[in-house]
Amino acid sequence: MRVRDAIRQNAPIGKPNAMSSPRLPKVAGIDSMVPVSTHTASPTEGAPSAPGAFLQDRLAGWVSDLTTLHELTERLTTTSTLDSALPELLAAGAALVGAGRGLLVLEPADGGGPSRTIGLGLEHAELGHIETLPRSATAYGRFLDGLPDSDAPLASPDILGDAGLDPRCREVAVRLGYAASYAQPLATEAAGRLGAAVWLYDEPAEPLERQCHLVEVYARFAAEHLARLLELERVRAHAAAFAEELLPGRLPRIPGVRLAARHRAAPEGGGDWYDALPLPGDALGLSVGSAGGSGPSALAAMGRLRAGLRAYAVMEGEDPVAVLSDLELLLRLTEPARSATALYAYCEPGRRTIVLAGAGHAPPLVTGERRTEFVETTLSAPLGMLPCWEAPSVEFTPRAGETVLFYTDGLLHRTGATTDQAFARLHSAAAGVPKALRQDPGAVADHVLRAVLPDGADRSDRAGDIALLAARFD
C-alpha cells in the first residue's frame, strides 16, 4: 500500500513537457548517507528530450526511491527493542533528508512512558543545550504538546535569518553550529503522538519535495514499528515489576551474617527467585531456584514455589532434604507439566555452619582471601522430573570473612559460553574481587555480575533471569 502511495505521489500528470517540468530548488548541505535517487530532476533547460526517455528517467527515479525505502524499512524491522530502533530511525531519516545531525524525542501522548531523548552527531551536553529551550519554541515541543498546526512536518531552512523565530533558538543554533532544521512528527492512529525527530543542517538548507515525501512514508512505517516495541517494552516492565513484588522486599538481619541480593528479570519474564527467611534460634533459611518456562505462567509458578518453600522451611527447615521433598510434592500436585530447580540451605551463623540440598541446581561458590571454590554437592535431578525426588544433604563451614554466593542458572546462561567456560568465568570473577570490596556482600555481588557479564546484566535483549544471593559470614 505504501509503495502504491509513493508511486502515486510521484506520478507525472498529463503529457510530460520539458519546458513545464518542475525545476529543482537550490539545496545546500545535502550529503545523504544512503544514496537517494536524483533521476526525478528535470532535463537540462533547452536540451531536446524524447517523452519515452523522460518517462524512463522518472520510472528509474521511482524504483531507486522505493528501493531505498525498502532497504531502510528492512533494517528497521530487524530491531527488537526501543534502544536499537530509535538510533536506526534517526540515522535513516538523516539519510533521506540529507542531514548530518539530529535528535529524536520519544514521549508517548498517553503519559505511560517510557520517555527518551537520543542524538545523532550530538554530544550529551549539546542535547542539554537544546533541551533548555522552551518547548513551545521548538518544533518537537509543538508536536509533543499538540499545539495547533503541529501535526505536519516543519522546515526551518534559515534559522539565523528567520526574524520570527525565538531569539533563544538562534542562540543555541549558533552555539552548536547548525543553520537549518527539518522536523517530522511520529504518530499512529491507534497510539496517537509518540514523539518527533529533528534533523539539523550545518548551513541554510531545505530538503527536496521528493525527500520530504520519502521521509514521511518512512516515518509512518517507523511509527507503527515504534508503537509495537513500546507496547512490548511496557509489558516487559510490568512483568519485571510483578517479579520484583514476588521477591523479598528486604533481607533479614541475623547476627553473624550479612546478606545482599541481586535480581535481573528476563525481557519476557522468568521464574528465578531468591529468598532469606529467619528461623528460630537465630538460624537462617536461604534458597534460590527457578521455575521452568517463561512469561506470566512461570512468574505465577515461581510465586507458588517460593511461598511453599517458606512454609516448609518454617516447619522443618533444619532438614533441607525434607524441605525439597515437600516442595517436589507440591510441584507435582499443582504444576504436573512443569519442572523446577531449587537449592535450600539451613544456616547457623553463630556456628558458621551450612547444611544444604539441591535439586538439579548449580553448586554455591564460597570465596574469601584464602580460597575460592565451589561447594561439593551431590548430583540430583530437578524437581518434577522423577516420580519421587531424593538426594542427600551436604554440610560445610565457611570461614570468618568468607562470602557464599547462591545463584541461579541464568547467570551462567547469559554468558553465552559453554557450561564449563561459564563456571570458570564465575570462579575467576569471584577470585578477582578486590580486597577492599570483600567486606560488603553487595559489592561482591556487583563485582561478580560485572565480571561475568561484561556486556551488562541489565540489557533488555538478554534471555533468562538472574538471581544472586550473597551471604558474608563474620
For residue 134, the domain's CATH number is: 3.30.450.40
- Written as one string, the DSSP assignment of 85-119 is HHHHHHHHHHHHHT-SEEEEEE--TTS----EEEE
Residues 267 and 372 in one domain: yes
Q: Which helix (DSSP H) or strand (DSSP E) does residue 473 occupy?
A: strand 466-473
251 plus 163 within the same structural domain:
no
Phi/psi of residue 426, nearest 5 degrees? -65, -45
Residue 356 lies in a domain: yes
pLDDT at 25 over 50: no
Cell, residue 417: 559460553
The overall average pLDDT reported for the chain is 85
pLDDT band at residue 16 under the 50/70/90 scheme? very low
**Residue 459 and residue 83: Cα distance in Å, rounded?**
10
> Does 388 reside within a domain?
yes
Whether 166 is in a domain gets the answer yes
The answer to the question of residue 29 being in a domain is yes
Please indicate, yes or no, whether residues 322 and 185 belong to a single structural domain of this protein: no
For the segment 377-390, what is each residue's pLDDT rounded down to a tens digit? Answer: 877 889 988 777 77
Last residue of a domain, one of 202, 229, 256: 229
- In this structure, are residues 213 and 167 in contact, taking their beta carbons and an 8 Å threshold? no
CA distance 276 to 283: 11
Pair 176, 291 in one domain: no
Instruction: Find cell 500500500 and name the residue.
Output: 1
Same domain, 382 and 450: yes
Position 386 in a domain: yes
- Do residues 378 and 428 share a domain? yes
Contacts of 321 (CB under 8 A, 6+ apart): 357, 390, 391, 392, 393
pLDDT at 204: 95
Peptide bond into 134 cis (omega under 30): no
pLDDT tens across 389-444, in order? 778 899 999 999 999 999 999 999 888 889 999 999 999 999 999 999 999 999 99
Write the CATH number for 269: 3.60.40.10
Q: Is 235 within the bounds of a domain?
A: no
The enclosing H or E element of 442 equals helix 441-452
Identify whether residues 216 and 256 lie together within a single domain. Answer: no
- Let me know whether 298 and 354 are in one domain: yes
Residue 231 DSSP SS3: helix
Last residue of a domain, one of 196, 229, 262: 229
The reply to whether 239 falls in a domain is no
**Same-domain pairing of 214 and 271:** no
Q: Domain span at residue 363?
A: 247-473
Calculate mean pLDDT across residues 354-364: 94
Query: Does residue 241 form part of some domain?
Result: no
Which of residues 201, 229, 257 is at a domain's end?
229
Give, for 344, the enclosing helix (H) or strand (E).
strand 340-348
Q: Are residues 301 and 419 in the same domain?
A: yes
In the prediction, which pLDDT does 108 show? 93
- Is residue 19 very low, low, confident or very high in pLDDT (cuts 50, 70, 90)? very low
Q: Quick one: 255 and 204 in the same domain?
A: no
Same domain, 178 and 323: no
Q: At 242, is the pLDDT very low, low, confident or very high (cuts 50, 70, 90)? A: confident
What is the three-class DSSP state of 198? strand
3-class secondary structure per residue, 363-420:
CCEEECCCCEEECCCCCCCCECCCCCCCCCCEEECCCCCCEEEEECHHHHHCCCCCHH
CB neighbours (10 Å) of residue 41? 15
Number of domains present in the structure of the chain:
2
Separation in Å, CA 424 to CA 17, 98, 412: 74, 50, 10
Burial class (CB in 10 A: 0-12, 13-18, 19+), 266: buried
